Structure 1
Amino acid sequence: MAHYFKIFKPYGMLSQFIYNQKQRKNKRLLGELGEFPEGTMSVGRLDEDSEGLLFLTTDGKFSYKITSTNVDKEYWVQVDGIISEKDVEKLSDGIEISIYGKPYQTLPCEVRLMSPPQNLPERAKRIRSEAHGPTSWISIVLNEGKYRQVRKMTAKIGFPTLRLIRYRIGDETIEGMDSEEIQNISF
């Protein structure tokens, strides 16, 4: 029987169960969040500096379906500076970024300005002091997922990402969840 979980991955945790790099061994791993059945894997990844919704499963076909098809993934992004509607349009239309040193044109996507989210858990590491200038929030919905894509997209138009939260995958969200919370789900 396959098992399915959704977790709110915290900032500073790797999206993996085993750390096989030789340096910096003190990394936090998914297994620290609880007991999972043998063969549990993460479905896609969130980098160490990102947080939010991550699926875990023992079902390889499910993992492939989520990562290899056009399943929407919504990210809430806090950026440095005041982003405008014109900038939102640039992101929506798709822009050229670099993936592993090669040019890549992102697909058109849904981007909108949003108010700062009110019900998010505090992040383990403070973003920065307000004395460093204003920030703004956008929602980006992608159905592709290239390496550090959202961060590269916002940086390309002059708005570095300060906080990145995956809010939704398909119909599942982190609404009402706390950082490090695990929920059993069914598909």
Structure 2
Amino acid sequence: MPSLLLFNKPYGVLSQFTDTEGRETLARYIDRPGVYPAGRLDRDSEGLLLLTDDGQVQHQVAHPLHKLPKVYWVQVEGSPDQAVLGALRQGVRLNDGPTRPAKAKVISEPPLWSRNPPVRFRQSVPTTWLELTISEGRNRQVRRMTAAVGHPTLRLVRVRIGTWNIESLQPGEYRVEPLHLPKTPRRPQQRSRKR
């Protein structure tokens, strides 16, 4: 039976097990052989990373076809107004094309662990926490979306993928969960016509 690991990736850790430049990797935290990340999380982002030892599961979790919603808590510079939230909800035009519509709302500062190193603040610029839900996985997508609407990301934490979340996991911890994947959408079959 396939294994699924839910890992709370700390800031500064690569989403891979080896690195030729000596940077911190998953090998420091995960000692289960044969598991690999299903998707990625940037080195400067934190939070939920799924790992599995089953290639089909890895594909189903990571592939955009399945559109698993990914929920992020995002600390941004400034105070986004309703127009900014509306732009995120409609989809933002990036250099590789428009994004799908996102769910976006302002939230209170979430009860997170302290980050090492801490986020750099500017006294004259307020910060705001957003909850963003997207169903794509483009490179650095959330950071590019917030920058495109004028509110650069300061801290980014992924808290949920589909039904999996980082609840009760501290940075560097993981847990193994039962695997309940959504069914793959089937393409309608075409009936062959007899002539």
TM score, norm. by length of structure 2: 0.87
Structure 1 match to 2:45 = 50
Q: Could you list the runs of 5+ residues in structure 1 that have no partner in the other structure?
A: none
The equivalences for 1:5-84 within 5 A come to 5-20=5-20, 25-37=21-33, 39-68=34-63, 69-84=66-81
Q: Which amino acid aligns with 2:77?
A: D
RMSD: 1.2
Q: Which amino acid aligns with 1:148?
A: R
Deviation at 1:132, TM superposition (A): 4.6
Whole-Å separation in 2 of the counterparts to 1:27 and 1:2: 29
Say if 2:137 is the partner of 1:141: no
Whole-Å separation in 1 of the counterparts to 2:120 and 2:168: 25
Whole-Å separation in 2 of the counterparts to 1:131 and 1:109: 30
Deviation at 1:157, TM superposition (A): 0.8
The CA deviation string for residues 128-156 of structure 1, in whole angstroms up to 9 with x for no partner, is 13525210011111111100000000001
Match of 2:102 among 101, 104, 109: 109
Higher Cα Rg, which structure: 2
How many residue pairs get aligned? The number is 177
Whole-Å separation in 2 of the counterparts to 1:50 and 1:132: 25
Alignment check: 8 A CA contact 1:4 1:184 kept: yes
Structure 2 match to 1:97 = 94
Q: Which amino acid aligns with 2:17?
A: F
Q: Could you list the runs of 5+ residues in structure 2 that have no partner in the other structure?
A: 180-195
Percentage identity across aligned positions? 38
The CA deviation string for residues 5-47 of structure 1, in whole angstroms up to 9 with x for no partner, is 1010000000001224xxxx2200001003112x210010011
The equivalences for 1:103-182 within 5 A come to 103-118=96-111, 120-129=112-121, 131-182=123-174
Alignment check: 8 A CA contact 1:10 1:179 kept: yes
Secondary structure of 1:131 counterpart: coil
Deviation at 1:176, TM superposition (A): 2.1
